[in-house]
Homo-oligomer: A and B are copies of this chain.
Amino acid sequence: MALDKEEMSEKVLAIAEALLNEGGAENLKARTIAEQAGISVGSVYNLFADLDEVHRAVNIRLLDRLGATGLAAMADLERQGVTDVQHRILAMAAAYVRFVEAHPGSWPAVLAFNRRRATRLGPDAYDALLDALFDIVAGVLKAGDFGLDDDRRALAARTLWSSVHGIVTSGYVANSNSRQADEIWHQIELLVGVFVKGLEHGGAFAHAETKPE
């Protein structure tokens, strides 16, 4: 009876996600998980090698869900017959913002963990999920007629997505809480606006001769 090994792992991950969301990475404690799951500390280590693996598993679930909501948002627009690139990119960004807002504690934890991870290990499942996000954006850019080859369009997609990401994460560090959401959205509107306008006018090919050192 009781729970399967897989089921218990799911339960642990659900608890872990809740803990992360409430208090960030420093709130993810082996003893708390064990207590809430009704098992012993040792059993947690039977299911996962260490807490990092738990954290990692939670993050992958989050990234997976983010990708799914992004795809769903794009599918919605498709169904409505919306083809305008700017409109679709803004919708994509909105999905991202909503997702981050819905995970106030665990999203920062994803980023911090991701940074630690990347400096130690090579590419893995993480990067695959991030690439999936890039691909969605690249797909949207393909619809716009910017005269970009595949490489350049992929670069533009990564650039755009990284920029949105930067705005969102920087925004959550900014001053007041009430004005945060507005500020973030204004920045995103501005970014997407100039980005699309810039691409339309060939800004993607305008090189300066400046190089980093």
What is the interface of chain A, defined by CB distance below 8 A to chain B?
Answer: 24, 84, 86-87, 90-91, 94, 97-98, 104, 108, 111-112, 114-116, 118-119, 122-123, 127, 130, 155-156, 158-159, 161-167, 169-176, 181, 183, 185-187, 189-208, 210-213
Nearest Cβ in chain B — how far from A22, in angstroms? 12
The one of B183, B208, B213 that contacts A90, using a Cβ cutoff of 8 Å: B208
CA of A210 to CA of B189, assembled, Å: 9
Task: Pick 27 A–B contacts, CB within 8 A, sort by A.
Answer: A87-B208, A94-B211, A98-B213, A104-B119, A108-B112, A111-B169, A115-B169, A122-B175, A123-B175, A155-B186, A156-B194, A159-B190, A159-B191, A163-B166, A165-B166, A166-B167, A166-B170, A185-B211, A189-B207, A193-B205, A194-B197, A194-B199, A195-B195, A196-B203, A197-B198, A197-B203, A198-B198
Q: List the B residue with the shortest CB-CB distance to A212.
A: B94
Cβ B156 vs Cβ A167 within 8 A: no
Whether A24 and B116, one on each chain, are in contact in the complex, defined by CB atoms closer than 8 angstroms, is yes
Contact of A162 among B155, B161, B170, B206 (CB under 8 A): B170
For A98, list chain B residues within 8 Å (CB). Answer: 212-213
Please give the count of copies of this chain that the complex contains: 2
Cβ-defined partner of A213 (8 Å) among B94, B173, B205:
B94
Decide: B187 and A158 in contact? CB cutoff 8 A.
yes
Q: Let me know if A212 and B86 touch, CB within 8 A.
A: no
A172 shortest CB reach to chain B, Å: 7
Docked complex Cα distance between A127 and B174 (Å) = 7
Complex Cα spacing A111 to B193, Å? 27
- Given contact pairs A193-B198, A194-B195, a sample of 9 additional A-B residue pairs in the complex whose CB atoms are under 8 Å apart: A108-B112, A118-B172, A163-B166, A165-B170, A189-B208, A193-B207, A195-B198, A196-B206, A201-B201
